[in-house]
Chains A and B, each alone.
Chain A
Amino acid sequence: MTGTLLSVEGVTKTFPGVRALDDVSFDVRPGTVHALCGENGAGKSTLMKVIDGIYQPDAGTVWVRGEQVRIKNPIDARARGIAMISQELNYVPDMTIAESFFLGRLPRRRGAVDWRYIRSEAKRILAEEGLSFPVNRRLRTLTVSEIQTLEILRAVYHSADVLIMDEPTSAIAYKEVESLFAKIRALRAQGKSIIYISHKMDEVFEIADDITVLRDGTVVSSQPASEITSAQAIAQMVGRDLDHQQYPKERIPLGPTAFKATGLSSRGMFEDVDIEVRAGEIVGLAGLIGAGRSEVVRAVFGLDRLDGGTVEVGGTPVHITSPRSAIRHGLALLPEDRRLVGIVPDMSIKKNATLASLPKVIHGGYAHAREEERLVGEFFAKMNVKAPSTETPIASLSGGNQQKVLLARWLIADPAVMLLDEPTRGIDVGAKLEIYKIMTDLARQGRAILMISSELPELIGMCDRIYVMSAGRVTAELTPDQYSQERILTYAMNDIEVA
């Protein structure tokens, strides 16, 4: 095995009811970026967890620098020069930013943890990136995109020879992605290798030297990026040609105002935000990291406190004190952070999906099992959730499939106003199309949708109107004739002066 830094040979891994990896082999050359593509549940994360020592393969071998190794656990992997940014951001919510940078390897001085060094290093790392968070802020108070940025900084700081990045950009875009790619290129130039997993094909083709496509746990193809096109890769991933109409957008005659927020503010987060969504309308909320988009929808939904402003649903002012009251008033929020505020990990897919609609399945004194199965089964099939059955615990699903179940939770609840925070985060190409179709259906039924996305093409393709936020304020409200990526980015980066 000369000329490869890491290779995997004939790896098979099964879970109860699922063969996640079936005789998988692939090689990573030194100084390259190796992209791994595949649908949700194809086995990408499982393969990476085998390499990182989180899972032991049932069969097959892993070679590092020509030597056959058995990687016992992530610490062992790190000792061999392998590090991973995992897909489900596994952070400790009550840890500070500074601590998180040095988690598991706190530097010590004379036996005691050297907090001064930790803080000053953390400050330096953040400053280099142009970020101005206080380093003792707790991770809980950050958005997923901010945490994702921090994870990247941390992994690069403790650089490894093989750096696995499992969907590092699912919640970030533009400036941050550019900065990530600059870092990846620098690492590559030092002879280090990166395994890069993403559902965003344009990113893959921009950064990858080699591409391996996985489908249902087997390798379909593995070749230099120059020898395959994006369309070919997608066809290999899904096993058929995908119809190319990317955004199934329909213009629906708009109804009355379904959702209206006026003068929303929350100290230190956002200020004076006005948002209006009409029935049948899909409205986008664009902006960069730290713009305050997720904070706005969280506060509207009663997850965080609102310092000021009013919310009207269906023309009547409502006072929302908790998610429960928000749901009563016909709101729903698909959250950005599915691990922290989305899934109940040990619960079955079915029970997760009906959690926000318990009165629909439990009434008259008992649980209506058949009714529940019918409700869930419908979405299970429609969204092509990959799992042995609806009784499977949601934690054992792949990231993208968990996201589908959470979306189903709110579709079953059937609210008048849907707040979707990165609805297609971690969702594969085929399933994305399905989600867009569902959104269009909802609009046709007169639902109002407010969607946050870090993917501008998606916002431009699906939205009837786009608000742009920057530094906690709405800096622009654009109609389709004004849409362009450049314009949105300008408003997203500049402060209100442009508006």
Chain B
Amino acid sequence: MTTKLKSFDASRYSIFIILALVFVGASFLSPNFLSVDNQLNVLRQVAVITILAYGAMTLIIGGMIDLSAGAVMAFAGVSSVMVYKDTQSLLLAVLVGIAVGVACNLVNAFLVATLHTPAFIVTLGMMLMARGAVLELTQGQNVLQLGDFVIIGQGTWGWAPVPALVLLLITAVIWYLMNQTRYGRGVYAVGGNEEAARAAGIAVAWVKYKAFVVNGVLVGIAGVIFMSRVNAGLPNAGVGYELQAITAPIIGGTSFSGGVGTTAGTLAGALIVGLLGNIMNLTGVGSYIQQIVMGLIIVTAVAYDVWSKRGRTRTTILRSGRRGEPAAAGADPGATADPPASGT
């Protein structure tokens, strides 16, 4: 008999256990940690990173990556701020923020999905372009005095901070998209095995476009919340955010090789990162040390991901989506890069 064993697959829940441990640990380390004020503050702080993390998760599950998130976030947020100062229309400002995020990501999508350029390179380029654009737009100056714009980042609804509510809503939407729609299935399939997805009738390019658009909307919203929370349009904001945004889903079990990951895991990953940052602030750990800790977490999470899938690692994010073509006759194999080493 192929005996069925009752087994509790601990690894599936380990991220939530870690989250609980971090929470409990933090409450011992600092008496202020559990205060309502601090908890609400944490929620405000994690909202931006978590929203970006959902975009990063979507793309990584789909076998892509976005290194431009931090820069595009600044571009979108500052654009939104400037529109607000000109028009005093909150709605218009938010829409412009989102539109800038989507526009940048449509460029990414075109290069990745239509021209088959590796997402890694494309979004690296976009990172420079978006940062340049926002600096040019503001001539490097911070935009100050935002007036009522701050209610998005600093306001509350009842006792709940607005960013936390937005995060809650976005979490629900992302969960829905990933689990209840054809688009979500498509993302998992394309990231899991692009050629098989195509052969099963998935519109691969279309799925990639949609994933980038989702990412664009999220980056735009994150930008608006960020600028509103700090009550300024900062053209230099968000440096390094793309990496934090990538860390959260990876800690939460999203695989760098694509096709695997959950919304709940990403939320937990983002909360862990957020709580660690908060407790380091509360206990007076310097910001340089904080950077080292965050770096360590990223490296550990990625190393764990690679280690746990030894033997079948295919890091898709560094690979172009292009289907191979026959090597030209007479081509010199020696002229191509060394073949990947792999034990067969």
Contact = CB atoms under 8 A, between A and B. Distances in A.
Contacts of B343: 73-75, 104
Interface string A223-237: 000000000000000
Interface string A392-405: 00010000000000
Contacts of A118: 333
B344 A104 contact: yes
Contact of B181 (A95, A119, A343, A362): A362
B199 A217 contact: no
B319 to A, nearest CB: 10
B141 interface: no
B171 to A, nearest CB: 17
B235 to A, nearest CB: 40
Nearest to A362: B182
Contact of A344 (B193, B255, B338): B193
Interface string A118-151: 1100000000000000101110110000000000
Given A345-B259, A386-B2, A141 B324 contact: yes
B116 interface: no
B37 interface: no
A138 B338 CA distance: 14
B202 interface: yes
Interface string A97-109: 0110001101000
Contacts of A409: 200
A96 B338 CA distance: 11
A103 B344 contact: yes
A366 B183 CA distance: 11
B179 A367 contact: yes
A96 B327 contact: yes
Contacts of B255: 346
B182 A359 contact: yes
A99 B5 CA distance: 43
Contacts of A92: 339-340, 342
A347 B192 contact: yes
Interface string B102-115: 00000000000000
B188 interface: yes
Contacts of B1: 19, 216
B289 interface: no
A17 interface: yes
Interface in A18-72: 18-20, 22, 41, 54
A86 B312 CA distance: 14
A341 interface: yes
Given A96-B327, A115-B334, A340-B195, A355 B7 contact: no
Contacts of A90: 344
Interface stretch (A2-10, A319-327, A488-496): A319-327
Interface string B172-187: 0000000111100110
A365 interface: yes
Given A99-B333, A99-B339, A327-B201, A94 B180 contact: no
Contact of A16 (B7, B196, B326, B344): B7
B201 A323 contact: yes
A367 B2 contact: no
Contacts of B188: 344, 347, 351
Given A94-B324, A344-B259, A324 B201 contact: yes
A345 B312 contact: yes
Interface in A291-326: 301, 303, 322-324, 326
10 contacts: A73-B343, A94-B324, A103-B342, A140-B324, A217-B2, A323-B199, A340-B193, A345-B193, A355-B197, A388-B4
Given A323-B198, A342-B196, A358-B186, 20 more contacts: A14-B5, A18-B4, A19-B5, A92-B340, A96-B327, A99-B333, A99-B339, A103-B342, A104-B342, A118-B333, A138-B325, A141-B326, A216-B1, A303-B198, A333-B199, A335-B199, A344-B192, A355-B200, A355-B202, A362-B180
